[in-house]
A = this chain, B = another copy of it.
Amino acid sequence: MAGLVRGRSPGAETSEALRNIRSLRVLVIHPHDEDGEELLRHLKRIGCQTQATWPPPKQLPPNVDVVFLSLRQVIEAQQSFPWKADNPPAALVVIVDYENPVMVDAVLKLTAQAVIGLPIRPFGLLTNLVSAHALFTRERKLQRRIEKLEEKVKSIKRLNQAKEILMKNHGLDEDEAYRMIRSQAMNKRMTTEAIAIAIINASEILGLKQD
């Protein structure tokens, strides 16, 4: 988007992320106190599918889209909390009641997509919820794109390596080598990628020339 003039252009449709807000599955990991109740009530007011749990679960239940986490209380519980910050299972909204560097560091390590301060106030929760989920989805897309590109680079390199093995050991030129891999793939109903891997593996076992 080049510029922001108004929130929407004429007749623009409401974004997917917002339309689906009532299908979001939210897990609140927070002690059962006033703040926890206020948070839960407001998430239900917004209309999300919300459940709360305390103490922190040893394992995250499946099918959760957004987790709200009471940070200090999880830390003080001195119990291992499972959260793979590099490949998280859900968007994370961290609830903080202190913001000294120890606590902020914990927020950074968890790579939370949103931060909410105690005491809970209803205003701002909706925007933080939707924004956190959008940031999470956005990062996951970037991560998937990186994985695909890395796979692609590997795949090209493997195909080249397999072709070279065939050229070196069978005296084929590049075109012939490639045609041999492709016809093998078609015969065996496998991908050229899989054939390339098979050739590389075989060459290692049989001690063929690789370069």
A interface residue numbers (CB < 8 A to B): 1-8, 14-15, 17-18, 74-75, 78-86, 96, 99, 101-117, 121, 123-124, 126-128, 130-131, 134-135, 138-139, 142-143, 145-146, 149-150, 152-153, 156-157, 160, 163-164, 167, 173-174
- Alpha-carbon gap, A163 to B160, bound state (A): 12
Cβ of A108 and Cβ of B96 under 8 Å apart?
A: no
Cβ of B123 and Cβ of A117 under 8 Å apart?
A: yes
CB distance from A156 to the nearest CB of B (A): 5
Cβ of A7 and Cβ of B146 under 8 Å apart?
A: no
- Alpha-carbon gap, A120 to B126, bound state (A): 17
CB distance from A69 to the nearest CB of B (A): 9
For A211, give the chain B residue with the smallest CB separation: B175
Cβ of A8 and Cβ of B134 under 8 Å apart?
A: no
- Alpha-carbon gap, A127 to B113, bound state (A): 12
B6, B101, B114: which contacts A14 (Cβ < 8 A)? B101
Which residues of the other chain, B, contact A157 by a CB distance below 8 angstroms? 156
B4, B113, B115, B139: which contacts A74 (Cβ < 8 A)? B4
